[in-house]
Amino acid sequence: MDERVFNGEKGSVCAVLLAAGSSRRMGSNKQLMTFGGRTPIELCLSAFAPFAESAVVVVSEDTASAAQKAAAKLAGEGAYPSGIRIVLGGERRQDSVLNALTVSEADFVAVHDCARCLVTPDVIEPSIACAFENGCGVASVRSVDTLRLEASGAVVDRESLLAAQTPQTFLREKLLEAYEAAGTESTFTDDAAIWAAAGNALFYSPGSRLNFKLTTPEDAALFAALLEKSEAKITSNEPLMRLRVGFGEDTHRLVEGRKLILGGVEIPFQYGLLGNSDADVLTHALIDAVLGACALGDIGQHFPDSDPAYKGVNSLLLARSAAASAREHGFILNNLDATLVCQRPKLAAYRNAMRENLAEAFSLPVGRVSVKFTTPEHTGPEGRGESITARAAASVLEAADSE
Ligand code: MG
């Protein structure tokens, strides 16, 4: 069996997923509901897959086929290399867990109610880590509500209370011993109770207020809404961002008596580019690409040619201002790419200096700024040395819910 290291200890983990409940409060069987096409069993198998080498899904006759479908899908994706077992549950919760404990061979079992199908890695990982360190890790939360004894009306000190959730992770053999010690007479509501009844110390890991249990029919709409929000995170682990791209192009005439400045680098040459600013055609094309990706107009609208304020201006300052404007509108610059169409002079030696200037101006790592050169085979105005043209692309990210 694969081994995993937590806090210096080695051991394997099995996810024990309980889906055998009778759903008395729900009316219909909640394990057969779907959220975005996925049953609670599939959602939980997906959630635990990064943390466990094997899984045991405990089912009833009603939920067996949903479990088989989900197990086949996850196995097909390469999850759970040590296998997914499906076993029938028993009369009570503890009978179901015992069935799973006896078929599992893992060092640790993370027992979880499939009704808590909103469970996230930030709840699963600490429970397992706590068990590796202490023998058990019970996901728990404190109450934020005032708690009162119904009969007397007395307020209970909520600092002394913990609400237990799942997952609850344990050393499997020690939990099995606790089950044997508990016998079959008494009924327990969770594994922590059986563990503690056998004289074992309880250790808690942080649960989450969002780790709800799908219980009543009203919960279904709430779950659907929450899962729709988190669906992209569950499947990709990426933040909810949308990619946008922009294009920019610029041409300036080569004339005598002007400096040739490209990407903020002054290049020794007998001609320079004509323009109101420093006529840095490369930087101008990149500015237009960034503005285009953000649909914020073009360089002429932001920095008019006719404005004397921009006479002779260093175009890198305009780039800095355009990048700031993009960020103020909520965009994150992702990468830049440009091609200079230029017959003469040779530019390759200046590539890295240009990239570094542009990266600084647009506040990007140099690795996300590309500058390329092409000679137009003496064709067209660029090929005849009359002008230099730059073409550029930019990509930016925006929050997916920003519209
Ligand atoms: Mg220009």
Centre of ligand 1 from the C-alpha of residue 244, in Å: 23
Residue 168 tokens read as: 């609850």
Centre of ligand 1 from the C-alpha of residue 185, in Å: 85
Q: What is the predicted pLDDT for the residue at 277?
A: 94
Look at residue 127 and tell me whether its pLDDT is greater than 50: yes
- Pick from 138, 146, 149, 104: nearest CA to 11: 104
- What's the chain's average pLDDT? 89
> CB atoms < 10 A from the CB of 94, how many?
20
Centre of ligand 1 from the C-alpha of residue 25, in Å: 69
Side-chain-facing half-sphere of 341: CA atoms under 13 Å: 21
User: Percentage of residues in the chain with pLDDT exceeding 70?
Assistant: 91
Place of tokens 């800095």: 320
d(CA 153, CA 200): 33
- Pick from 351, 229, 339, 247: nearest CA to 292: 247
- Residues written for the chain: 403
Quick one: pLDDT band at residue 9, thresholds 50, 70, 90?
low
Please tell me whether residue 274 adopts helix, strand or coil conformation.
coil
Look at residue 316 and tell me whether its pLDDT is greater than 60: yes
Centre of ligand 1 from the C-alpha of residue 359, in Å: 19
Look at residue 233 and tell me whether its pLDDT is greater than 60: no
- Pick from 18, 56, 33: nearest CA to 166: 18
Mean pLDDT of 157-161: 85
Report pLDDT digits (tens) over 246-263. Answer: 999 999 999 999 999 999
Centre of ligand 1 from the C-alpha of residue 292, in Å: 15
Centre of ligand 1 from the C-alpha of residue 327, in Å: 22
Mean pLDDT of 374-381: 96
- Residues flanking ion ligand 1, Cβ below 5 Å: 250, 284
Residue 337 tokens read as: 């790419």
d(CA 353, CA 127): 50
Look at residue 362 and tell me whether its pLDDT is greater than 90: yes
- The pTM score is 0.57
